[in-house]
């Protein structure tokens, strides 16, 4: 009896030690990350076994047919629950504008980020920053832009000033107890596409890697921002080699992701593509001990009323990624253009979205809140 007890105690001790060692060694790339950020990092990994968190860009700010109604969300209107992940966007903060490029005032955004965080939601932030060389938009590439931004380049000082503004905003994100709100920051997203100035045909892999590394190093080591996890984020990719072509290295990335949109009616093609890319992403993340995520997805205006169960869930079947972030429900953008990626109340795919919600495979806020992702 005594021996058994002694053995059991030894076992518990060993388990305790290995857990502690894991918790201490498995740190995000920022070794000075705040406790909440470290817990989030561990819990994102732990939650991989439980399901995929559903995310939505600008969810609390507006939806189809409404803007800035306290507590409202198209996801909540349809399912009764908020998403588990909230995406926000910093474009134009670099210009000292009070609103981002999609018209969301930064002071309101701070409040929304706080509200989502206090509900146990996960926050991720993108940045469609202007072209620092030309002063035009992120979508207007010019040769030499990345080189100009790197140390020694003619726009390097300007780029640092822009990062200073990003740091001020990030440092203003605080929870009720005064703690910093952890953020998954995903700069230079869709980096293997050609539509942004940091895109594939506008810089070499080495330049992109340096840009990414400089950005992380500046925020983390110069500005001492310690509540970020960093996402490396491509668009669709043909194979793992392409995915990793511009990967800045394991010391610079916490989350590996890609963005994917369905553009036509080929549901089977979308399922095949997303499933293949998710498998490759999962391998990449596993080999490097990173968190895999579907950093953006969507089928614009969801023109297929059963797309959620016939296609989306099928594409994700059997895959373990942390979250899937649907892009924004901008609503009517002009007389001829409407943009949304999740159903609003009354939309033809709303009933099917409820089936997705009820399937239990996708986690909404009610499930993640119980997981206390910011605690051990
Ligand atoms: C795009 C569209 C644009 C928006 C941009 C940045 O995909 O939604 O309307 O300005 O993202 O959020």
Cα 149 to the center of its chain, rounded Å:
24
Residue nearest to atom 10 of ligand 1 (CA): 102
Backbone φ/ψ region at 346: left (φ over 0), alpha (ψ -120 to 50), beta:
left
Q: How far apart (Å, rounded) are the C-alpha atoms in residues 145 and 133?
A: 6
Helices (H), 100-239: 106-118, 145-149, 156-171, 205-217
Residue nearest to atom 7 of ligand 1 (CA): 327
Q: How far apart (Å, rounded) are the C-alpha atoms in residues 223 and 70?
A: 33
Ligand 1: centre distance to CA 33 (Å): 30
Query: What pLDDT is attached to residue 96?
Result: 98
Query: What pLDDT is attached to residue 19?
Result: 47
Query: What pLDDT is attached to residue 15?
Result: 47
Q: How far apart (Å, rounded) are the C-alpha atoms in residues 153 and 157?
A: 8
Query: What pLDDT is attached to residue 370?
Result: 82
Tokens in use for 356?
């997705």
- Catalytic-role residue among 296, 317, 337, 371: 296
Ligand 1 atom closest to the CA of 102, numbered from 1: 10
Ligand 1: centre distance to CA 101 (Å): 8
User: Is 190 labeled as catalytic in the residue annotation?
Assistant: yes
Ligand 1 atom closest to the CA of 89, numbered from 1: 12
Ligand 1: centre distance to CA 366 (Å): 28
Query: What pLDDT is attached to residue 279?
Result: 98
Ligand 1 atom closest to the CA of 57, numbered from 1: 12
Listed as ranges, residues in the chain with pLDDT below 70 are 1-24
Q: How far apart (Å, rounded) are the C-alpha atoms in residues 341 and 57?
A: 10
- Catalytic-role residue among 89, 190, 207, 280: 190
Q: Is 15 helix (H, G, I), strand (E, B) or coil?
A: helix
Ligand 1: centre distance to CA 128 (Å): 9
The best mutation among 61, 101, 125 to test binding of ligand 1, ranked by most ligand atoms within 8 Å of the C-beta, falls on 101
Query: What pLDDT is attached to residue 369?
Result: 83
Check: CB of residue 123 under 8 Å from CB of residue 179. Answer: no
Q: How far apart (Å, rounded) are the C-alpha atoms in residues 40 and 179?
A: 14
**Residue with tokens 């070794």, as numbered in its chain:** 31
pTM listed for this prediction: 0.94
Query: What pLDDT is attached to residue 375?
Result: 95
Ligand 1 atom closest to the CA of 58, numbered from 1: 12
Residue nearest to atom 5 of ligand 1 (CA): 102
Ligand 1 atom closest to the CA of 333, numbered from 1: 9
Listed in sequence order, the residues at least 6 apart from 235 whose beta carbon sits closer than 8 Å to its beta carbon are 190, 191, 192, 193, 258, 259, 260
Tokens in use for 314?
């099928």
Which residues pair with residue 298 across a beta bridge? Answer: 261
Ligand 1: centre distance to CA 155 (Å): 25
Q: How far apart (Å, rounded) are the C-alpha atoms in residues 60 and 70?
A: 8
The best mutation among 57, 102, 125, 327 to test binding of ligand 1, ranked by most ligand atoms within 8 Å of the C-beta, falls on 102
For residue 261, the tally of other CB atoms under 10 A from its CB is: 14
Check: CB of residue 167 under 8 Å from CB of residue 90. Answer: no
Q: Spell out which residues line ligand 1, taking CB within 6 angstroms.
A: 89, 101-102, 128, 327-328, 330, 339
Q: How far apart (Å, rounded) are the C-alpha atoms in residues 320 and 278?
A: 8
Q: What is the CA radius of gyration of the chain?
A: 21
Check: CB of residue 148 under 8 Å from CB of residue 155. Answer: yes
């Amino acid at each position: 009896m005594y021996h058994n007890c002694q053995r059991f105690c030894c076992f518990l001790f060993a388990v305790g030690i290995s857990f502690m060692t894991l918790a201490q060694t498995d740190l995000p790339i920022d070794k000075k990350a705040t406790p909440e950020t470290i817990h989030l990092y561990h819990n994102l990994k732990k939650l991989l076994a439980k399901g995929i968190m559903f995310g939505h860009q600008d969810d609390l700010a507006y939806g189809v047919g409404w803007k800035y109604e306290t507590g409202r969300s198209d996801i909540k209107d349809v399912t009764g629950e908020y998403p588990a992940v909230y995406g926000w966007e910093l474009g134009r903060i670099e210009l000292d504008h009070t609103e981002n490029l999609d018209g969301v005032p930064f002071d309101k955004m701070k409040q929304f980020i706080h509200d989502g965080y206090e509900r146990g939601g996960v926050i991720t932030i993108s940045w469609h920053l202007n072209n620092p060389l030309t002063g035009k938009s992120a979508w207007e590439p010019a040769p030499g832009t990345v080189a100009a931004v790197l140390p020694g380049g003619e726009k390097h000082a300007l780029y640092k000033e822009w990062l200073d503004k990003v740091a001020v905003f990030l440092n203003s994100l605080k929870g009720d107890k005064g703690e910093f709100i952890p953020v998954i920051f995903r700069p230079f997203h869709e980096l293997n596409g050609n539509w942004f100035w940091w895109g594939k045909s506008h810089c070499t892999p080495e330049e992109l890697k340096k840009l990414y590394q400089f950005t992380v190093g500046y925020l983390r080591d110069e500005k001492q921002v310690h509540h970020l996890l960093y996402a490396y984020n491509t668009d669709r990719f043909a194979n793992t080699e392409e995915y990793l072509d511009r990967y800045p290295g394991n010391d610079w990335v916490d989350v590996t992701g890609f963005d994917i949109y369905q553009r036509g009616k080929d549901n089977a093609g979308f399922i095949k593509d997303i499933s293949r890319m998710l498998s490759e992403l999962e391998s990449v993340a596993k080999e490097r001990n990173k968190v895999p995520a579907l950093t953006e997805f969507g089928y614009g205006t969801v023109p297929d009323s059963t797309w959620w169960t016939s296609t989306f869930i099928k594409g994700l079947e059997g895959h373990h990624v942390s979250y899937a972030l649907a892009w924004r429900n901008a609503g009517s953008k002009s007389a001829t253009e409407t943009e949304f990626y999740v159903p609003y109340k009354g939309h033809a795919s709303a009933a099917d979205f409820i089936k997705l919600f009820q399937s239990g495979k996708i986690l909404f806020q009610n499930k993640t809140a119980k997981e206390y992702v910011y605690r051990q």
